[in-house]
Structure 1
Protein backbone atom coordinates (compact mmCIF):
# COMPACT_ATOMS: atom_id res chain seq x y z
CA UNK A 1 0.00 0.00 0.00
CA UNK A 2 1.38 3.40 -0.95
CA UNK A 3 -1.46 5.69 0.23
CA UNK A 4 -4.48 5.90 2.51
CA UNK A 5 -6.66 6.01 -0.59
CA UNK A 6 -5.24 2.64 -1.70
CA UNK A 7 -6.16 1.17 1.70
CA UNK A 8 -9.72 2.45 1.31
CA UNK A 9 -9.96 1.04 -2.21
CA UNK A 10 -8.64 -2.32 -1.05
CA UNK A 11 -11.19 -2.53 1.76
CA UNK A 12 -14.06 -1.66 -0.58
CA UNK A 13 -12.95 -4.40 -2.97
CA UNK A 14 -12.65 -7.18 -0.40
CA UNK A 15 -16.19 -8.49 -0.49
CA UNK A 16 -18.51 -8.76 2.51
CA UNK A 17 -18.22 -5.84 4.89
CA UNK A 18 -16.91 -6.38 8.40
CA UNK A 19 -19.11 -5.24 11.27
CA UNK A 20 -17.98 -2.58 13.73
CA UNK A 21 -19.55 -2.16 17.18
CA UNK A 22 -19.90 1.51 18.15
CA UNK A 23 -20.38 2.21 21.85
CA UNK A 24 -21.94 4.32 23.15
CA UNK A 25 -23.23 5.72 19.87
CA UNK A 26 -25.20 8.91 20.73
CA UNK A 27 -22.45 11.23 19.45
CA UNK A 28 -22.98 13.26 16.25
CA UNK A 29 -19.51 12.98 14.73
CA UNK A 30 -19.30 9.26 15.47
CA UNK A 31 -22.73 8.58 13.99
CA UNK A 32 -21.91 10.48 10.83
CA UNK A 33 -18.58 8.71 10.40
CA UNK A 34 -20.18 5.29 10.90
CA UNK A 35 -22.99 5.97 8.45
CA UNK A 36 -20.59 7.45 5.89
CA UNK A 37 -18.44 4.31 6.23
CA UNK A 38 -21.52 2.19 5.55
CA UNK A 39 -22.46 4.28 2.51
CA UNK A 40 -18.94 3.90 1.10
CA UNK A 41 -18.96 0.16 1.70
CA UNK A 42 -16.16 0.21 4.27
CA UNK A 43 -17.94 -1.40 7.23
CA UNK A 44 -21.35 -2.20 8.64
CA UNK A 45 -22.04 -0.38 11.92
CA UNK A 46 -23.72 -1.99 14.93
CA UNK A 47 -24.99 0.73 17.26
CA UNK A 48 -25.00 0.30 21.03
CA UNK A 49 -26.33 2.97 23.37
CA UNK A 50 -29.36 4.99 24.37
CA UNK A 51 -31.71 4.40 21.48
CA UNK A 52 -34.05 7.36 21.99
CA UNK A 53 -31.17 9.80 22.41
CA UNK A 54 -29.31 8.36 19.43
CA UNK A 55 -32.37 8.63 17.21
CA UNK A 56 -32.74 12.28 18.21
CA UNK A 57 -29.10 12.95 17.29
CA UNK A 58 -29.55 11.15 13.98
CA UNK A 59 -32.66 13.22 13.22
CA UNK A 60 -30.71 16.42 13.85
CA UNK A 61 -28.09 15.22 11.39
CA UNK A 62 -30.71 14.22 8.84
CA UNK A 63 -29.53 10.60 9.03
CA UNK A 64 -31.52 7.37 9.18
CA UNK A 65 -30.58 4.39 11.35
CA UNK A 66 -33.10 2.00 9.81
CA UNK A 67 -31.58 -1.21 8.52
CA UNK A 68 -28.75 -1.32 11.05
CA UNK A 69 -28.63 -3.43 14.20
CA UNK A 70 -29.24 -1.35 17.32
CA UNK A 71 -28.81 -2.56 20.91
CA UNK A 72 -30.56 -0.29 23.38
CA UNK A 73 -28.32 0.23 26.40
CA UNK A 74 -28.79 3.26 28.68
CA UNK A 75 -25.52 2.85 30.59
CA UNK A 76 -22.35 3.94 28.78
CA UNK A 77 -19.97 1.58 30.59
CA UNK A 78 -22.33 -1.33 29.97
CA UNK A 79 -22.52 -0.37 26.29
CA UNK A 80 -18.74 -0.70 26.01
CA UNK A 81 -18.79 -4.13 27.62
CA UNK A 82 -21.60 -5.23 25.29
CA UNK A 83 -19.42 -4.19 22.34
CA UNK A 84 -16.59 -6.38 23.65
CA UNK A 85 -19.03 -9.25 24.16
CA UNK A 86 -20.25 -8.92 20.58
CA UNK A 87 -16.68 -9.32 19.39
CA UNK A 88 -16.17 -12.40 21.56
CA UNK A 89 -19.38 -13.88 20.14
CA UNK A 90 -18.13 -13.32 16.59
CA UNK A 91 -20.94 -10.88 15.80
CA UNK A 92 -18.59 -7.95 15.09
CA UNK A 93 -14.97 -7.82 13.93
CA UNK A 94 -13.81 -4.46 15.29
CA UNK A 95 -14.67 -1.83 17.88
CA UNK A 96 -15.15 1.93 17.66
CA UNK A 97 -15.21 4.47 20.47
CA UNK A 98 -18.34 6.55 20.82
CA UNK A 99 -19.36 8.99 23.54
CA UNK A 100 -16.96 7.67 26.15
CA UNK A 101 -13.33 8.26 27.11
CA UNK A 102 -10.64 6.26 25.36
CA UNK A 103 -9.48 5.02 28.77
CA UNK A 104 -12.91 3.54 29.52
CA UNK A 105 -13.03 1.66 26.24
CA UNK A 106 -9.46 0.36 26.48
CA UNK A 107 -10.02 -0.74 30.08
CA UNK A 108 -12.80 -3.02 28.82
CA UNK A 109 -10.54 -4.32 26.05
CA UNK A 110 -7.73 -5.00 28.54
CA UNK A 111 -9.96 -6.77 31.08
CA UNK A 112 -8.70 -10.31 31.73
CA UNK A 113 -12.10 -11.86 31.26
CA UNK A 114 -12.39 -10.24 27.83
CA UNK A 115 -9.41 -12.29 26.65
CA UNK A 116 -8.66 -9.81 23.86
CA UNK A 117 -5.03 -9.09 24.78
CA UNK A 118 -2.34 -11.71 25.15
CA UNK A 119 -0.79 -12.01 28.65
CA UNK A 120 1.85 -9.31 28.89
CA UNK A 121 0.64 -7.72 25.68
CA UNK A 122 0.26 -3.97 25.30
CA UNK A 123 -2.04 -1.66 23.40
CA UNK A 124 -0.66 1.23 21.38
CA UNK A 125 -1.96 3.76 18.89
CA UNK A 126 -0.52 3.52 15.39
CA UNK A 127 -1.17 6.50 13.10
CA UNK A 128 -0.72 6.19 9.35
CA UNK A 129 -0.50 9.02 6.83
CA UNK A 130 0.71 9.72 3.32
CA UNK A 131 4.34 10.82 3.32
CA UNK A 132 4.59 14.51 2.40
CA UNK A 133 5.25 14.99 -1.29
CA UNK A 134 8.94 14.99 -2.15
CA UNK A 135 10.46 16.95 -5.05
CA UNK A 136 9.06 15.64 -8.34
CA UNK A 137 10.42 12.23 -9.17
CA UNK A 138 12.76 11.97 -6.19
CA UNK A 139 10.65 9.50 -4.17
CA UNK A 140 7.57 7.43 -5.04
CA UNK A 141 4.37 7.83 -2.97
CA UNK A 142 4.49 5.93 0.31
CA UNK A 143 2.95 5.65 3.73
CA UNK A 144 4.49 6.70 7.03
CA UNK A 145 3.60 5.48 10.50
CA UNK A 146 3.75 7.27 13.86
CA UNK A 147 3.47 5.76 17.34
CA UNK A 148 2.39 6.38 20.05
CA UNK A 149 0.33 9.57 20.00
CA UNK A 150 -2.57 8.53 22.19
CA UNK A 151 -2.23 5.57 24.57
CA UNK A 152 1.12 5.18 26.34
CA UNK A 153 1.95 8.32 28.27
CA UNK A 154 5.58 7.97 29.32
CA UNK A 155 6.78 4.58 28.11
CA UNK A 156 9.78 2.82 29.57
CA UNK A 157 12.48 1.36 27.36
CA UNK A 158 10.74 -2.02 27.32
CA UNK A 159 7.38 -0.43 26.58
CA UNK A 160 8.95 1.51 23.69
CA UNK A 161 10.26 -1.78 22.32
CA UNK A 162 6.74 -3.22 22.51
CA UNK A 163 5.24 -0.13 20.86
CA UNK A 164 7.78 -0.50 18.07
CA UNK A 165 6.87 -4.18 17.60
CA UNK A 166 3.21 -3.21 17.23
CA UNK A 167 4.09 -0.55 14.66
CA UNK A 168 6.33 -2.96 12.74
CA UNK A 169 3.47 -5.48 12.52
CA UNK A 170 1.23 -2.81 11.00
CA UNK A 171 3.95 -1.69 8.58
CA UNK A 172 4.46 -5.24 7.34
CA UNK A 173 0.73 -5.71 6.89
CA UNK A 174 0.74 -2.59 4.73
CA UNK A 175 3.33 -4.13 2.43
CA UNK A 176 6.58 -2.79 3.87
CA UNK A 177 8.65 -5.99 4.17
CA UNK A 178 11.68 -4.46 5.89
CA UNK A 179 10.47 -1.35 7.72
CA UNK A 180 12.85 1.47 8.56
CA UNK A 181 12.14 2.84 12.03
CA UNK A 182 13.48 6.12 13.39
CA UNK A 183 13.51 6.45 17.18
CA UNK A 184 12.97 10.16 17.63
CA UNK A 185 14.67 12.55 20.01
CA UNK A 186 15.77 16.20 19.95
CA UNK A 187 19.27 15.36 18.76
CA UNK A 188 21.20 12.54 17.12
CA UNK A 189 23.69 12.34 19.99
CA UNK A 190 23.21 10.52 23.29
CA UNK A 191 22.88 13.09 26.05
CA UNK A 192 22.19 11.30 29.30
CA UNK A 193 20.89 12.05 31.91
CA UNK A 194 19.76 15.41 30.50
CA UNK A 195 17.82 13.75 27.66
CA UNK A 196 16.85 10.21 28.68
CA UNK A 197 15.05 9.66 25.36
CA UNK A 198 18.38 9.75 23.54
CA UNK A 199 19.72 6.83 25.57
CA UNK A 200 16.53 4.82 25.03
CA UNK A 201 16.81 5.49 21.31
CA UNK A 202 20.41 4.35 21.21
CA UNK A 203 19.55 1.14 23.09
CA UNK A 204 16.60 0.40 20.80
CA UNK A 205 18.85 0.84 17.76
CA UNK A 206 21.32 -1.62 19.29
CA UNK A 207 18.47 -4.06 19.99
CA UNK A 208 17.44 -3.75 16.36
CA UNK A 209 20.97 -4.50 15.17
CA UNK A 210 20.91 -7.64 17.31
CA UNK A 211 17.70 -8.84 15.67
CA UNK A 212 15.21 -8.06 18.46
CA UNK A 213 12.72 -6.65 15.94
CA UNK A 214 13.14 -9.16 13.14
CA UNK A 215 13.82 -7.98 9.61
CA UNK A 216 13.78 -4.25 10.28
CA UNK A 217 16.21 -1.34 10.29
CA UNK A 218 16.12 0.70 13.49
CA UNK A 219 18.11 3.89 13.99
CA UNK A 220 18.26 6.38 16.83
CA UNK A 221 18.44 8.78 18.30
CA UNK A 222 17.33 10.81 15.29
CA UNK A 223 15.87 14.29 15.21
CA UNK A 224 12.76 14.56 13.04
CA UNK A 225 14.53 16.29 10.15
CA UNK A 226 17.16 13.54 10.02
CA UNK A 227 14.45 10.88 10.02
CA UNK A 228 12.46 12.26 7.10
CA UNK A 229 14.75 14.51 5.03
CA UNK A 230 17.54 13.01 2.89
CA UNK A 231 18.91 16.53 2.44
CA UNK A 232 19.21 17.11 6.20
CA UNK A 233 20.82 13.70 6.67
CA UNK A 234 23.36 14.43 3.97
CA UNK A 235 24.16 17.93 5.24
CA UNK A 236 24.64 16.66 8.80
CA UNK A 237 26.72 13.70 7.68
CA UNK A 238 24.40 11.05 9.14
CA UNK A 239 25.04 7.80 7.29
CA UNK A 240 22.16 5.40 7.95
CA UNK A 241 19.69 3.59 5.70
CA UNK A 242 16.93 4.95 7.93
CA UNK A 243 18.01 8.61 7.89
CA UNK A 244 15.85 10.54 5.46
CA UNK A 245 13.77 7.47 4.61
CA UNK A 246 11.99 6.43 7.82
CA UNK A 247 8.79 4.42 7.46
CA UNK A 248 8.07 4.52 11.20
CA UNK A 249 8.50 7.43 13.58
CA UNK A 250 8.70 6.25 17.19
CA UNK A 251 7.93 9.15 19.53
CA UNK A 252 9.64 9.32 22.94
CA UNK A 253 6.38 10.05 24.81
CA UNK A 254 2.70 10.78 24.26
CA UNK A 255 3.18 14.56 24.29
CA UNK A 256 5.68 14.67 21.44
CA UNK A 257 3.76 12.00 19.55
CA UNK A 258 0.48 13.87 19.92
CA UNK A 259 2.05 17.16 18.84
CA UNK A 260 3.55 15.53 15.75
CA UNK A 261 0.26 13.79 14.93
CA UNK A 262 -1.64 17.08 15.10
CA UNK A 263 1.04 18.92 13.16
CA UNK A 264 0.47 16.50 10.29
CA UNK A 265 -3.33 16.66 10.50
CA UNK A 266 -3.72 20.36 11.33
CA UNK A 267 -0.74 22.25 9.91
CA UNK A 268 -0.43 20.09 6.80
CA UNK A 269 -4.16 19.39 6.59
CA UNK A 270 -3.43 15.76 5.80
CA UNK A 271 -5.77 12.90 6.75
CA UNK A 272 -4.35 10.58 9.41
CA UNK A 273 -5.69 7.09 10.04
CA UNK A 274 -5.29 5.92 13.64
CA UNK A 275 -6.04 2.52 15.17
CA UNK A 276 -5.30 1.05 18.58
CA UNK A 277 -3.54 -2.26 17.99
CA UNK A 278 -2.27 -5.06 20.21
CA UNK A 279 -5.63 -6.75 20.85
CA UNK A 280 -7.62 -9.34 18.92
CA UNK A 281 -10.04 -6.58 17.90
CA UNK A 282 -8.71 -3.44 16.21
CA UNK A 283 -10.07 -0.38 17.99
CA UNK A 284 -10.96 2.88 16.24
CA UNK A 285 -10.73 5.89 18.56
CA UNK A 286 -11.91 8.90 16.55
CA UNK A 287 -11.49 12.40 17.96
CA UNK A 288 -14.02 15.18 17.60
CA UNK A 289 -11.24 17.25 16.03
CA UNK A 290 -10.42 14.67 13.35
CA UNK A 291 -11.43 15.55 9.82
CA UNK A 292 -14.09 13.44 8.10
CA UNK A 293 -11.35 12.06 5.85
CA UNK A 294 -9.31 10.99 8.90
CA UNK A 295 -12.28 9.27 10.53
CA UNK A 296 -13.10 7.29 7.40
CA UNK A 297 -9.44 6.46 6.81
CA UNK A 298 -9.21 5.15 10.38
CA UNK A 299 -12.18 2.85 9.85
CA UNK A 300 -10.70 1.63 6.57
CA UNK A 301 -7.32 0.97 8.20
CA UNK A 302 -8.95 -0.96 11.07
CA UNK A 303 -10.90 -3.12 8.60
CA UNK A 304 -7.77 -3.71 6.52
CA UNK A 305 -5.78 -4.81 9.59
CA UNK A 306 -8.62 -7.02 10.81
CA UNK A 307 -8.63 -8.82 7.47
CA UNK A 308 -4.83 -9.13 7.55
CA UNK A 309 -4.79 -10.33 11.17
CA UNK A 310 -2.03 -7.79 11.86
CA UNK A 311 -3.56 -5.90 14.75
CA UNK A 312 -2.60 -8.46 17.42
CA UNK A 313 1.14 -8.84 17.73
CA UNK A 314 1.33 -11.06 20.80
CA UNK A 315 3.93 -8.70 22.25
CA UNK A 316 5.15 -9.72 25.68
CA UNK A 317 6.40 -7.20 28.24
Structure 2
Protein backbone atom coordinates (compact mmCIF):
# COMPACT_ATOMS: atom_id res chain seq x y z
CA UNK A 1 0.00 0.00 0.00
CA UNK A 2 1.24 3.47 -0.88
CA UNK A 3 1.13 6.44 1.41
CA UNK A 4 -2.26 7.27 2.90
CA UNK A 5 -3.49 10.49 1.31
CA UNK A 6 -4.96 12.43 4.21
CA UNK A 7 -7.33 15.33 4.47
CA UNK A 8 -7.57 17.34 7.71
CA UNK A 9 -10.82 19.07 8.62
CA UNK A 10 -10.31 21.92 11.08
CA UNK A 11 -7.07 23.87 11.01
CA UNK A 12 -7.21 25.37 14.47
CA UNK A 13 -4.90 25.30 17.46
CA UNK A 14 -4.77 21.53 18.01
CA UNK A 15 -4.17 20.81 14.31
CA UNK A 16 -1.33 23.32 14.07
CA UNK A 17 0.21 22.50 17.45
CA UNK A 18 0.09 18.71 17.14
CA UNK A 19 -1.32 17.15 13.99
CA UNK A 20 0.70 18.83 11.25
CA UNK A 21 4.09 18.03 12.77
CA UNK A 22 3.05 14.48 13.66
CA UNK A 23 1.88 13.76 10.10
CA UNK A 24 5.12 15.07 8.67
CA UNK A 25 7.11 12.85 11.04
CA UNK A 26 5.12 9.67 10.31
CA UNK A 27 5.98 7.19 7.55
CA UNK A 28 3.15 5.95 5.38
CA UNK A 29 0.94 9.02 5.44
CA UNK A 30 0.98 12.42 3.75
CA UNK A 31 -1.14 15.52 4.10
CA UNK A 32 -2.96 16.18 0.83
CA UNK A 33 -5.75 18.60 1.70
CA UNK A 34 -7.21 20.74 4.47
CA UNK A 35 -10.68 22.11 5.05
CA UNK A 36 -11.09 25.18 7.21
CA UNK A 37 -13.50 28.10 7.30
CA UNK A 38 -10.83 30.58 8.33
CA UNK A 39 -7.39 29.26 7.40
CA UNK A 40 -5.33 27.87 4.54
CA UNK A 41 -2.09 25.92 4.35
CA UNK A 42 0.54 26.28 1.66
CA UNK A 43 1.44 23.26 -0.44
CA UNK A 44 -1.84 21.35 -0.13
CA UNK A 45 -5.36 21.61 -1.54
CA UNK A 46 -7.48 23.96 0.57
CA UNK A 47 -11.26 23.92 0.95
CA UNK A 48 -13.89 25.75 2.96
CA UNK A 49 -15.45 22.62 4.50
CA UNK A 50 -15.54 18.85 4.27
CA UNK A 51 -18.37 18.80 1.75
CA UNK A 52 -16.33 20.92 -0.67
CA UNK A 53 -13.29 18.71 -0.01
CA UNK A 54 -15.15 15.47 -0.72
CA UNK A 55 -16.81 16.87 -3.85
CA UNK A 56 -13.58 18.29 -5.26
CA UNK A 57 -12.25 15.14 -6.91
CA UNK A 58 -8.97 15.37 -4.99
CA UNK A 59 -7.92 11.79 -4.25
CA UNK A 60 -8.04 11.09 -0.53
CA UNK A 61 -7.87 7.84 1.42
CA UNK A 62 -8.60 9.15 4.90
CA UNK A 63 -9.91 12.11 6.85
CA UNK A 64 -8.69 13.38 10.22
CA UNK A 65 -11.32 15.42 12.04
CA UNK A 66 -9.85 18.13 14.28
CA UNK A 67 -13.05 20.11 14.70
CA UNK A 68 -15.01 20.60 17.95
CA UNK A 69 -17.16 17.58 18.86
CA UNK A 70 -20.43 19.42 18.21
CA UNK A 71 -21.24 18.88 14.54
CA UNK A 72 -18.51 16.29 14.01
CA UNK A 73 -20.97 13.44 13.52
CA UNK A 74 -22.17 14.87 10.20
CA UNK A 75 -18.57 15.34 9.04
CA UNK A 76 -17.53 11.80 9.98
CA UNK A 77 -20.67 10.32 8.44
CA UNK A 78 -20.03 12.16 5.17
CA UNK A 79 -16.42 10.96 5.08
CA UNK A 80 -17.34 7.33 5.75
CA UNK A 81 -20.13 7.38 3.17
CA UNK A 82 -17.57 8.75 0.70
CA UNK A 83 -15.38 5.71 1.35
CA UNK A 84 -12.75 7.37 3.56
CA UNK A 85 -11.11 6.00 6.67
CA UNK A 86 -11.67 8.37 9.59
CA UNK A 87 -9.56 9.50 12.55
CA UNK A 88 -11.40 11.33 15.33
CA UNK A 89 -9.70 13.86 17.60
CA UNK A 90 -10.74 13.43 21.21
CA UNK A 91 -13.44 13.45 22.41
CA UNK A 92 -14.74 11.32 19.53
CA UNK A 93 -18.17 12.95 19.57
CA UNK A 94 -20.68 15.00 21.49
CA UNK A 95 -22.87 12.02 22.45
CA UNK A 96 -22.54 8.29 22.95
CA UNK A 97 -25.26 7.42 20.47
CA UNK A 98 -23.50 9.21 17.62
CA UNK A 99 -20.12 7.56 18.15
CA UNK A 100 -21.67 4.11 18.30
CA UNK A 101 -23.58 4.93 15.11
CA UNK A 102 -20.30 5.88 13.41
CA UNK A 103 -18.73 2.65 14.58
CA UNK A 104 -21.55 0.65 13.03
CA UNK A 105 -21.42 2.64 9.78
CA UNK A 106 -17.66 2.27 9.36
CA UNK A 107 -17.90 -1.46 9.97
CA UNK A 108 -20.64 -1.81 7.36
CA UNK A 109 -18.44 -0.01 4.81
CA UNK A 110 -15.28 -1.97 5.65
CA UNK A 111 -13.46 1.21 6.70
CA UNK A 112 -11.16 2.00 9.60
CA UNK A 113 -12.45 4.25 12.36
CA UNK A 114 -9.96 5.45 14.97
CA UNK A 115 -11.23 7.08 18.16
CA UNK A 116 -8.00 8.65 19.37
CA UNK A 117 -6.89 9.24 22.94
CA UNK A 118 -3.61 11.07 22.63
CA UNK A 119 -2.71 10.77 26.33
CA UNK A 120 -2.58 6.99 25.97
CA UNK A 121 0.42 7.55 23.71
CA UNK A 122 2.43 9.12 26.54
CA UNK A 123 5.64 7.27 27.33
CA UNK A 124 4.74 6.02 30.79
CA UNK A 125 1.29 4.64 30.08
CA UNK A 126 2.04 1.19 28.67
CA UNK A 127 4.84 0.47 31.18
CA UNK A 128 2.47 1.48 33.99
CA UNK A 129 -0.21 -0.81 32.60
CA UNK A 130 2.16 -3.77 32.47
CA UNK A 131 3.39 -3.10 36.01
CA UNK A 132 -0.06 -2.70 37.56
CA UNK A 133 -1.16 -6.01 36.04
CA UNK A 134 1.39 -7.70 38.31
CA UNK A 135 0.65 -5.82 41.54
CA UNK A 136 -2.08 -5.90 44.15
CA UNK A 137 -3.87 -2.55 43.98
CA UNK A 138 -5.29 -0.60 46.92
CA UNK A 139 -6.64 2.66 45.41
CA UNK A 140 -6.09 5.26 42.70
CA UNK A 141 -6.40 9.03 42.56
CA UNK A 142 -6.27 11.60 39.76
CA UNK A 143 -5.44 15.30 39.96
CA UNK A 144 -5.84 17.03 36.58
CA UNK A 145 -5.71 20.80 36.96
CA UNK A 146 -4.84 23.42 34.38
CA UNK A 147 -5.46 26.97 33.21
CA UNK A 148 -8.26 27.11 30.64
CA UNK A 149 -7.25 30.63 29.60
CA UNK A 150 -3.85 29.32 28.54
CA UNK A 151 -4.94 26.17 26.73
CA UNK A 152 -8.28 27.25 25.24
CA UNK A 153 -8.23 31.02 24.77
CA UNK A 154 -11.42 32.37 23.23
CA UNK A 155 -12.85 28.93 22.45
CA UNK A 156 -16.50 29.52 23.28
CA UNK A 157 -17.63 26.14 21.93
CA UNK A 158 -15.92 24.35 24.79
CA UNK A 159 -18.38 25.89 27.28
CA UNK A 160 -21.47 24.88 25.30
CA UNK A 161 -23.44 21.61 25.53
CA UNK A 162 -21.31 18.91 23.94
CA UNK A 163 -18.10 20.87 24.50
CA UNK A 164 -17.52 19.07 27.84
CA UNK A 165 -15.98 21.98 29.75
CA UNK A 166 -13.33 20.74 32.17
CA UNK A 167 -13.89 17.22 30.88
CA UNK A 168 -12.13 18.21 27.67
CA UNK A 169 -8.81 17.82 29.53
CA UNK A 170 -10.30 15.51 32.17
CA UNK A 171 -11.14 12.91 29.56
CA UNK A 172 -7.40 12.64 28.89
CA UNK A 173 -6.92 11.44 32.46
CA UNK A 174 -9.82 9.03 32.11
CA UNK A 175 -8.33 7.68 28.88
CA UNK A 176 -5.16 6.79 30.80
CA UNK A 177 -6.94 5.32 33.82
CA UNK A 178 -9.17 3.12 31.65
CA UNK A 179 -6.02 1.88 29.93
CA UNK A 180 -3.79 1.15 32.93
CA UNK A 181 -6.24 -0.24 35.49
CA UNK A 182 -6.47 -4.03 35.46
CA UNK A 183 -10.16 -3.88 36.43
CA UNK A 184 -13.15 -2.09 35.01
CA UNK A 185 -14.69 0.61 37.16
CA UNK A 186 -17.89 2.63 37.38
CA UNK A 187 -18.90 6.05 38.68
CA UNK A 188 -20.57 6.32 42.08
CA UNK A 189 -20.58 10.10 42.74
CA UNK A 190 -20.15 13.30 40.71
CA UNK A 191 -20.00 16.96 41.75
CA UNK A 192 -19.91 19.45 38.87
CA UNK A 193 -18.95 23.06 39.53
CA UNK A 194 -20.48 25.23 36.80
CA UNK A 195 -20.04 28.99 36.31
CA UNK A 196 -23.32 30.90 36.43
CA UNK A 197 -22.86 32.09 32.83
CA UNK A 198 -21.73 28.80 31.30
CA UNK A 199 -23.36 25.50 30.32
CA UNK A 200 -20.39 23.25 31.07
CA UNK A 201 -18.40 22.65 34.28
CA UNK A 202 -15.18 24.41 35.19
CA UNK A 203 -14.36 21.79 37.86
CA UNK A 204 -15.46 18.29 38.81
CA UNK A 205 -14.94 15.85 41.66
CA UNK A 206 -15.64 12.21 40.87
CA UNK A 207 -15.64 8.95 42.78
CA UNK A 208 -15.43 5.54 41.12
CA UNK A 209 -15.34 1.95 42.28
CA UNK A 210 -13.64 -0.99 40.58
CA UNK A 211 -15.29 -4.36 40.03
CA UNK A 212 -13.67 -5.64 43.25
CA UNK A 213 -14.58 -2.52 45.24
CA UNK A 214 -11.34 -0.50 45.15
CA UNK A 215 -11.82 3.30 45.28
CA UNK A 216 -10.75 5.72 42.53
CA UNK A 217 -11.09 9.49 42.90
CA UNK A 218 -10.61 12.19 40.29
CA UNK A 219 -10.34 15.95 40.73
CA UNK A 220 -10.51 18.12 37.61
CA UNK A 221 -10.14 21.90 37.72
CA UNK A 222 -9.70 24.51 35.00
CA UNK A 223 -8.81 27.39 37.31
CA UNK A 224 -5.22 26.49 38.17
CA UNK A 225 -2.59 29.05 37.23
CA UNK A 226 1.18 28.64 37.37
CA UNK A 227 2.52 25.08 37.13
CA UNK A 228 -0.06 22.68 35.74
CA UNK A 229 -0.98 19.35 37.35
CA UNK A 230 -1.56 16.16 35.37
CA UNK A 231 -0.99 13.35 37.86
CA UNK A 232 -2.32 9.83 38.38
CA UNK A 233 -1.31 7.93 41.53
CA UNK A 234 -2.03 4.25 42.09
CA UNK A 235 -1.38 2.85 45.54
CA UNK A 236 -0.33 -0.80 45.55
CA UNK A 237 0.76 -3.14 48.33
CA UNK A 238 4.27 -3.09 46.86
CA UNK A 239 4.44 0.72 46.71
CA UNK A 240 3.05 3.68 44.70
CA UNK A 241 2.98 3.86 40.91
CA UNK A 242 2.72 7.47 39.74
CA UNK A 243 2.27 8.99 36.30
CA UNK A 244 3.01 12.72 36.10
CA UNK A 245 3.23 15.36 33.35
CA UNK A 246 0.25 13.81 31.57
CA UNK A 247 1.74 10.32 31.56
CA UNK A 248 5.14 11.15 30.10
CA UNK A 249 6.89 10.47 33.42
CA UNK A 250 6.60 7.26 35.43
CA UNK A 251 7.69 7.04 39.06
CA UNK A 252 7.69 3.59 40.69
CA UNK A 253 8.13 3.22 44.44
CA UNK A 254 9.57 6.74 44.56
CA UNK A 255 12.12 6.16 41.78
CA UNK A 256 11.84 7.83 38.35
CA UNK A 257 11.62 5.18 35.64
CA UNK A 258 10.64 7.04 32.48
CA UNK A 259 11.01 10.68 31.47
CA UNK A 260 10.35 11.31 27.80
CA UNK A 261 9.46 14.10 25.41
CA UNK A 262 5.98 14.44 23.93
CA UNK A 263 5.42 11.86 21.19
CA UNK A 264 1.71 11.32 21.67
CA UNK A 265 0.44 12.48 18.28
CA UNK A 266 3.24 10.79 16.37
CA UNK A 267 2.17 7.58 18.09
CA UNK A 268 -1.45 8.22 17.07
CA UNK A 269 -0.64 8.65 13.38
CA UNK A 270 1.66 5.62 13.45
CA UNK A 271 -1.23 3.60 14.89
CA UNK A 272 -3.65 5.01 12.31
CA UNK A 273 -1.39 3.90 9.46
CA UNK A 274 -1.27 0.42 11.00
CA UNK A 275 -5.05 0.24 11.43
CA UNK A 276 -5.72 1.27 7.84
CA UNK A 277 -3.12 -1.15 6.47
CA UNK A 278 -4.74 -4.01 8.39
CA UNK A 279 -8.32 -2.95 7.70
CA UNK A 280 -9.03 -2.62 11.43
CA UNK A 281 -10.64 -0.06 13.74
CA UNK A 282 -9.97 1.14 17.28
CA UNK A 283 -13.18 2.39 18.86
CA UNK A 284 -12.72 2.29 22.60
CA UNK A 285 -15.28 4.82 23.78
CA UNK A 286 -14.95 3.99 27.50
CA UNK A 287 -13.50 7.40 28.51
CA UNK A 288 -16.51 9.12 26.94
CA UNK A 289 -18.84 6.69 28.71
CA UNK A 290 -17.40 7.79 32.06
CA UNK A 291 -17.85 11.45 31.16
CA UNK A 292 -21.46 10.80 30.17
CA UNK A 293 -21.97 9.08 33.52
CA UNK A 294 -20.49 12.12 35.30
CA UNK A 295 -23.12 14.33 33.69
CA UNK A 296 -25.91 11.82 34.38
CA UNK A 297 -25.05 11.54 38.09
CA UNK A 298 -23.72 15.06 38.43
CA UNK A 299 -24.82 17.30 41.26
CA UNK A 300 -24.64 20.89 40.00
CA UNK A 301 -22.76 23.40 42.15
CA UNK A 302 -23.03 26.92 40.79
CA UNK A 303 -20.03 29.20 41.04
CA UNK A 304 -19.13 32.73 39.96
CA UNK A 305 -19.33 33.71 36.30
CA UNK A 306 -16.29 32.92 34.15
CA UNK A 307 -15.01 35.48 31.65
CA UNK A 308 -12.29 34.55 29.19
Interval of TM-score (by shorter of Structure 1 and Structure 2): 0.3 to 0.5
TM-score of the superposed pair, with normalisation by structure 1: 0.38
Could you tell me the TM-score, scaled by structure 2's length? 0.39
- Structure with bigger strand share is 2
Q: Would you tell me which structure has more helix in proportion to its own residues?
A: 1
